[in-house]
Amino acid sequence: MTTNWFRRLGVIVGVLTTLGLAGTSPAMAYAPVNIVHTEHVQAGPYQVTVGFSVWPMRAMKSLDFTFVPDGGIGGKSGTLTVDGPGVKPDETVTPLVRHPRKLDSWGLDVKSFDAAGNYTFRFAIDGPQGHGEGALADVAILSQPGPPLALSWAVGSLPFVVLVVFLAVAWRRVGRQPLAV
């Protein structure tokens, strides 16, 4: 009698574990990088395809960049230099690293720029054909979508300000009177 109970418990646990793993595996998968626009850059002997996951690009909006030299990234290394009005000084020059979700290319994962304007992406690539440099210039990043940040913050903070005023008024009215028990 006890053996049947343990068998049933084992089957139930096995079914629940299988259903749990089957249900969570799609949720645990990385979102694919969908490239919607590409540009081509000649960096010495290497032609680099620059991919953008959002086009046109806007300030304060995250997107993915991919950089794929002809022949793939194997045996090659390089640096990326970004110039533009929204680039922080410590982010100007970065090594070209593998994109974390698109492993066959270099890239920037979930990158956004703080200001609108024209940007330049410069590549310096070292590989079996030697050293090459190239630039993708005048990449326009449009202004931030939606209302200005100050207006958004002001409207979004109104409920909090009203709550603070309400609590202050309530505390002043109740705080002066002794509690009646």
pLDDT tens track for 42-86: 999 999 999 999 999 999 889 999 999 999 999 999 999 999 998
pTM (predicted TM-score): 0.68
The Cβ-side half-sphere exposure at 98, using a 13 Å CA radius, reads 10
pLDDT in tens, 103-147: 999 999 988 888 999 999 999 999 999 999 999 999 999 998 888
DSSP assignment letter at 98: B
